[in-house]
Structure 1
């Protein structure tokens, strides 16, 4: 089959004869229709992260069609349109049974090879997947939009944590064992009983793709005011269009104190750091009120300076937000109904064969690109 293989730091081979996967027991074979290039793929392709050890087929933000069923599979049919969790969790450990699938000690991330495992991903024509990570997508939802379910779920998970919700709706309720993720009656039940948590004021530090999704997730959940911070004024303009009431360039002097004053003198109720670097983390911490919370999503640098006394003396709560845990049904629903818009974030849809060139363009970061989706077919 065709696959885009990372063969050396920042070097790709468009392989026309990559080995085809087969569906084992409890698995399905999915024909990939669309797969987005994630920021973690860009940061990992040069080898410095240690999580893309070559050779590896990257890609984990995807959607497609079931084309084969493994032994024992029920509740799924050939032709079903699906997206899926980027993490293969075991489903048997204590964490999985409690719904914390993102914390599964046996997890493997699609398109990642950190050393202890190598799990080829979705920049390929086909992939075999366990049914437990699948979610149905509506016929009216394009594969390109459905590929956003993974990053939207990450944003919703972070907002869930700020709202005091640790597990998303896919794992928050007991379902019929024969009911596959995303079935019609489940969605209807969730919509009927859904209540939007109402937050206060939030600061989002970093208006890249995930940050822009966090802004929208906050507004969709009823947070009253969102303040966005970034170094790129064009991103800040888009942040305003997507719901941010106030935007500031991170270069502005005395920004943390200005944000505090804007929020009544003491600071925002919560902040979301969506970069993963020292300066944005410092701003996120200094922008919140006493007793406020800081949700950390960015994961760029392994270590950063930390304003310890600011956290201790203002009794702040720091929460790390790892991937997602059951937010896919809500993500799919919000993409479909437009309460979270993904069209403004979609920069290009291109053939998989052109992937290497688009990786370089994203890495060079000279065009303001956000999400590029590759199509294997």
Structure 2
């Protein structure tokens, strides 16, 4: 039976358990003091959303959860006390709500705040609902107005761009030989960021020849298969900086093997499945410097500035756009080939 619309209710995509996603009607939120009401336009689907749907996330869903943290929309209403924002303004949403008072927040590491509540996340209890709903009330401090020339679809890409930029800045890449393991959306953006930050060369590897080739089409220098990389290792060809953006144990192993023994730096960006560790022997055998990243610090403004200053186009990442009514299609395995680099859910009407 189709959902009936009204002026006080809205359509919401609710995940009640692995594989159990349904559209419901809920009461439309009203912005509290200090909040704005955002009419959602575009929500990007992230690997963490897929993990929740498939039941492979490190965090169990113990209550119905609304997914979605890569978001853009327009301001539809203002709560009491909000100044400097105007209804109709196009905005991207800053998904991480940290406490602002702890040592991590005060030191510029708000992404490491122990009290962070992220949009569409089951990492906290009660869970914080995300943006797969027609309207969302959010603190006014957590919207970023989009300048002219930046579309709402591009605004929804700022969150993954911020993740990639945070990773690319984790260790110096200027003048370095860089390898990115994994050619998904984050891997593609990490490659672009490393290139813009002055890497001598950027190589991308992926089990999908199409994805690795796409990276070269958009700025990477080389696309190599795993076999080609390992043949290079036998000849002493290693990399100064390696990013794992695969989120797969085999990808992490390859990243550790690819780092130059004694001097190589490895940055783990992808999220490994629950209960999966890293092969420490490859770290100890090469005395590699290994670190990881968690989302990003400082909101979305650095990513927006990076894109505009370097005149980067990332809109090509979006290979599928689906209306909210067809959201279940997004989580179905592709009939042929690999899945799209980035899928956007759009609310229309």
Q: Distance in 2 between matches of 1:72 and 1:48?
A: 42
Which of 195, 201, 208 is residue 219 of structure 1 equivalent to? 195
- What does residue 296 of structure 2 align with? 324
Q: Distance in 1 between matches of 2:234 and 2:146?
A: 42
Q: Distance in 2 between matches of 1:118 and 1:324?
A: 20
- What does residue 127 of structure 2 align with? 118
- What does residue 39 of structure 1 align with? 47
Q: Deviations over 1:332-367 (max 9, x none)?
A: 2444567433222111222111112222256x7745
1:185-204 aligned within 5 A: 198-204=174-180
**Secondary structure of the structure 1 residue equivalent to 2:26:** coil
* 1:235 Cα deviation after fit: 0.7
Q: Distance in 1 between matches of 2:60 and 2:336?
A: 21
- Given that residues 12 and 133 in structure 2 are in contact (C-alpha distance below 8 angstroms), is that contact kept between their aligned partners in structure 1? yes
Q: Distance in 2 between matches of 1:14 and 1:241?
A: 38
- What does residue 358 of structure 1 align with? 330
Which of 146, 152, 175 is residue 143 of structure 1 equivalent to? 152
Q: Distance in 2 between matches of 1:79 and 1:51?
A: 37
**Secondary structure of the structure 2 residue equivalent to 1:3:** strand
**Secondary structure of the structure 2 residue equivalent to 1:291:** coil
- What does residue 272 of structure 1 align with? 243
Q: Distance in 2 between matches of 1:138 and 1:332?
A: 9
- Given that residues 94 and 299 in structure 2 are in contact (C-alpha distance below 8 angstroms), is that contact kept between their aligned partners in structure 1? no
- What does residue 340 of structure 2 align with? 369
TM-score normalised to structure 2 length: 0.89
Mark the runs of 5 or more structure 2 residues left unpaired by the alignment: 1-9
- Given that residues 6 and 57 in structure 1 are in contact (C-alpha distance below 8 angstroms), is that contact kept between their aligned partners in structure 2? yes
* 1:115 Cα deviation after fit: 5.6
- RMSD over aligned CA atoms reads 2.2
1:69-218 aligned within 5 A: 69-114=78-123, 116-163=125-172, 198-218=174-194
* 1:210 Cα deviation after fit: 0.7
Q: Distance in 2 between matches of 1:327 and 1:90?
A: 14
- Given that residues 56 and 274 in structure 2 are in contact (C-alpha distance below 8 angstroms), is that contact kept between their aligned partners in structure 1? no
- What does residue 18 of structure 1 align with? 26
Matched, 1:258 2:232: yes
- Given that residues 38 and 77 in structure 2 are in contact (C-alpha distance below 8 angstroms), is that contact kept between their aligned partners in structure 1? yes
* 1:146 Cα deviation after fit: 0.8
Q: Deviations over 1:273-325 (max 9, x none)?
A: 11223221111111111222100011132344544344235332111111011
Q: Deviations over 1:34-92 (max 9, x none)?
A: 11111111121133323544421111100111122222223323222211222111222
Higher relative contact order (CA 8 A, sep 6+): 1
- Given that residues 47 and 53 in structure 1 are in contact (C-alpha distance below 8 angstroms), is that contact kept between their aligned partners in structure 2? no
Which of 238, 258, 272 is residue 214 of structure 2 equivalent to? 238
- Given that residues 90 and 107 in structure 1 are in contact (C-alpha distance below 8 angstroms), is that contact kept between their aligned partners in structure 2? yes
- Given that residues 347 and 372 in structure 1 are in contact (C-alpha distance below 8 angstroms), is that contact kept between their aligned partners in structure 2? yes
TM-score normalised to structure 1 length: 0.83
Matched, 1:292 2:300: no
- What does residue 345 of structure 1 align with? 317
Q: Distance in 1 between matches of 2:47 and 2:214?
A: 18
**Secondary structure of the structure 1 residue equivalent to 2:332:** helix
Mark the runs of 5 or more structure 1 residues left unpaired by the alignment: 164-196
**Secondary structure of the structure 2 residue equivalent to 1:92:** coil
- What does residue 66 of structure 1 align with? 75
> Bigger CA drift: 134-143 or 202-211?
134-143
